[in-house]
Amino acid sequence: MSIVLDGKKIRDEILAELRPRIEALKVKGRPPALAVILVGDNPASQIYVRNKIKACHELGIRSLDTKPPASITTEQLLEIIDGYNRDANVDGILVQMPLPPQIDAQQILLAVDPAKDADGFHLFNAGSLVANRPAPRACTPAGIIELLKRYQIPIAGKDAVVVGRSEIVGKPMALMLLNENATVTICHSRTRNLPEECRRADILVAAIGKPALLGADCIKPGAVVIDVGMNRVTDESEARRLFAHEPQRLANFAKNRNLLVGDVNPRAMRDLSSAYTPVPGGVGPLTIAMLMSNTVRLAEQHLS
């Protein structure tokens, strides 16, 4: 029977381990501080930022929230970031993506001081990951590595396949698995014979952003499946196809008229894998936990 990899459980472990470190920083002079910049009023971004701020408050991390209008220019946003870069009492800076189309997002990410890059997206920190040097790591893939280690799932020597090549998940995930001595294949929209490539995986990470794209033909029996996808299904026939084996999920669909599904067919994942992350409740909770971990680590460096 498959093991359900409980992201909430691992999140709680990580946060519990951060609390004494935060208290120690307070004794040194101040709590860690995270500046969060949310441009405009994107509903999904508002939810993400609200959850990040809530986690800060619960841990005792000071949060500084800036919410400029969607009409802000690149130059004006750069001024806000420069202010936080210069503030010695700010340890981490997070610019919530996506940004409005008139903003040069790459210029914004590069403007964040690498020593305050709580998301681990700056090119300097991405390069440090390539070189396997200490630096803030992208939060979602870092959380997945923590999940695998804390469930004592071997990585070294395993064949790992990452489906997706984004700068936020796919590429850093592949590098982190490589740094843990896995043999890594990256697949994407132009990969030929995707199921055959996926079936080679002892560890399959799906991060392509397409609901239930990977079916039973993509999963080697006994593989560990990490589903990063968070896709909302609103079509009733699709919900019934995917969750015919889960009456409670279908009841929830009938009530809410939508369901969350990952990038892997949920039944195939449950039936074929040795361990898997559910959607929701798997990878998602780990992202904010690793953001908090990055912020605390940066504060420790600044206050050392």
Catalytic residues: 52, 96, 119
Widest pairwise Cα distance in the chain: 58
> Where does the chain show beta strands of DSSP type E?
3-4, 33-37, 62-66, 92-95, 159-163, 183-187, 203-206, 224-227, 231-233, 259-261, 275-276
* Cβ neighbours of 91 (radius 10 Å): 29
b/e map 161-198, b = 16+ CB within 10 Å:
bbbbbbebbbbbbbbbbbbbebebbbbeeeeeebeebb
* Axis crossing angle, helix 139-150 with helix 284-302, rounded to the nearest 10: 100
